[in-house]
Amino acid sequence: MKEDNCGTQNCGCGPMVTIPMENSACREPNQTCGGTADMDLNDEACCGPSNHTVSNPFEKPGYKILPYVKRFHHTDNGTYPVIYNDLKFKDKAGTVFTRFGYNRSHYKVSPGLYCSGAPDENSDVFVSANYKISFDHLRRSLKGLDAWILVIDTMGVNVWCAAGKKTFSTGEISTRIKNVGLDKIVKHRKIVVPQLGAPGVSAREVKKNTGFKVVWGPVYTKDIPKFVENKLKTDNDMRKVTFSMAERTVLVPVEVMLVMKISLIIILALFVISGFGPGIFGIDRMVDRGSLISLFFLSGIFAGAVVTPVFLPFLPGKPFALKGIFAALISTAPLVYFYHGKIAITGLIAMLLVAFAISSYLAMNFTGATPYTSPSGVEKEMRKAIPVQLTSVIIALFLWVFAAF
Amino acid sequence: MKKFRYLKNVATLKLDQEKCNGCGNCTRVCPHTVFKLENKKAEMIDFDACMECGACALNCPEEALTVTPGVGCAAYIIQTWTGKEVGACC
Ligand code: SF4
Ligand code: SF4
Residues near A35 by beta carbon (within 8 Å), at least 6 away in sequence: A29
Give the residue from A71, A81, A75 showing the smallest Cα distance to A36: A71
Pocket test for ligand 1, best of B13, B14, B45 (most atoms within 8 A of CB): B13
Rounded to the nearest angstrom, the distance between the alpha carbon of B1 and the centre of ligand 1 is: 14
- Ligand 1, atom 7: closest residue by C-alpha: B30
pLDDT in tens, A38-87: 445 544 444 444 454 556 677 788 888 888 888 888 888 888 999 889 88
pLDDT for res A263: 93
Number of A–B residue contacts, CB under 8 Å: 136
pLDDT in tens, A369-388: 888 888 888 888 999 999 99
The answer on pLDDT for A242 being more than 70 is yes
Closest Cβ opposite residue B77 in set A202, A242, A379 = A379
Inter-chain touch A242–B1, beta carbons under 8 Å:
yes
Instruction: Tell me the DSSP string of B3-18.
Output: T----TT----EE-TT
Longest dimension (CA), chain B: 47
**CB B50 within 8 Å of CB B43:** no
By residue count, chain A amounts to 405
Pairing verdict, β A280-281 and A276-277? antiparallel
The answer on pLDDT for A27 being more than 80 is no
pLDDT for res A63: 82
Q: Where are the domains of chain B?
A: 14-81
Q: Using a CB-CB distance cutoff of 8 angstroms, which residues of chain A are in contact with residue B5?
A: 318, 372
Helices A375-403, A320-339: crossing angle, 10 deg rounding? 20
pLDDT for res B73: 60
Pairing verdict, β A147-152 and A125-129? parallel
Helix, strand or coil for residue A158? Answer: coil
**CB A331 within 8 Å of CB A302:** yes
Q: Where are the domains of chain A?
A: 1-67, 84-239, 245-403
d(CA A156, CA A141): 20
The answer on pLDDT for B88 being more than 70 is no
Return residues 13-42 of B near A (CB < 8 Å).
25, 28-33
Fold of B14-81: Alpha-Beta Plaits (3.30.70)
Confidence of residue B78 (pLDDT cuts 50, 70, 90): low
Q: What is the ipTM of this complex?
A: 0.84
Give the residue from A310, A315, A281, A300 showing the smallest Cα distance to A351: A300
**CB A152 within 8 Å of CB A129:** yes
Pocket test for ligand 1, best of B14, B25, B32, B44 (most atoms within 8 A of CB): B32
Which ligand lies nearest the alpha carbon of B41? 2
- Ligand 1, atom 3: closest residue by C-alpha: B50
Helix, strand or coil for residue A366? Answer: helix
Helix, strand or coil for residue A162? Answer: helix
- B21 CA closest ligand 2 atom index: 3
Give the residue from A101, A126, A130, A104 showing the smallest Cα distance to A115: A126
Highest-confidence range of A28-42, A78-92, A198-212, A247-261, by mean pLDDT? A198-212
Confidence of residue B79 (pLDDT cuts 50, 70, 90): low
Fold of A84-239: Rossmann fold (3.40.50)
Q: How many CA atoms lie within 13 A of A196 on its CB side?
A: 20
Q: Which amino acid is at A200?
A: G
Confidence of residue A14 (pLDDT cuts 50, 70, 90): very low
Rounded to the nearest angstrom, the distance between the alpha carbon of A215 and the centre of ligand 2 is: 16
Rounded to the nearest angstrom, the distance between the alpha carbon of B13 and the centre of ligand 1 is: 8
pLDDT in tens, A285-339: 888 899 999 999 999 999 999 999 999 999 998 999 999 999 999 999 999 999 9
Rounded to the nearest angstrom, the distance between the alpha carbon of B82 and the centre of ligand 1 is: 28
A229-259 in b/e burial notation, b at 16+ Cβ within 10 A?
eeeeebeeebbbbebeeeebeebbbbbbebb
Interface test with A, best of B1, B2, B3, B6 (most A CBs within 10 A): B6
d(CA A274, CA A401): 7
Inter-chain touch A240–B33, beta carbons under 8 Å:
yes
Helices (H), A211-282: 224-229, 245-249, 252-275
Model confidence, pTM: 0.79
d(CA A36, CA A231): 33
